[in-house]
Structure 1
Amino acid sequence: MDDEPAVQCSAKRCRSAARWALRWNNPKLHDAAYRKTWLACEQHRETLGQFLELRGFLREVTAFRPTP
């Protein structure tokens, strides 16, 4: 579809535009400086963040800025 955003939320079945970058790592698998990124829309920022926080994975949440 042409009306779908180019960069979408990472939540399952969500096609909304990404607005937030949730940076995380699993300390059992990754070096302390390593970061993976999930993108979130406004609706899923909190739930995705809670999922990561509960496991001790969430490191930071920043506004998502796509690179040109």
Structure 2
Amino acid sequence: MTDGEIPVICSGKGCRAPARWRLVWNNPRIHTPDREKVWTACDEHREPLAHHLAVRSFLRRVEALD
């Protein structure tokens, strides 16, 4: 992160930690197939957030933030 950039924060409820992961997902009932939504996650919340999306068959992939 360079000066002036806003840090990416984890999407976990109440979490204010810097995000290190991008969880890419899509809800096929309401989104077109090409639409991708993103949640961000810190190391602690990566697995619980990914699991939440995966059990609903929404999770497409998990990527490291650059």
Determine the structure 2 residue equivalent to 1:22: 23
For normalisation by structure 2, the TM-score amounts to 0.88
What residue in structure 2 maps to residue 36 of structure 1?
Answer: 37
Counterpart amino acid of residue 51 in structure 2: Q
- Name the SS of the counterpart of 2:23 in structure 1: strand
Please, what TM-score do these two structures have when normalized by structure 1? 0.85
**Poorly superposed stretches of 4+, deviation over 6 Å:** none
Structural mapping, 1:1-68, within 5 Å: 6-65=7-66
Where structure 2 has 5 or more consecutive residues not aligned to the other structure, the ranges are 1-5
Count of residue pairs brought into register by the alignment: 61
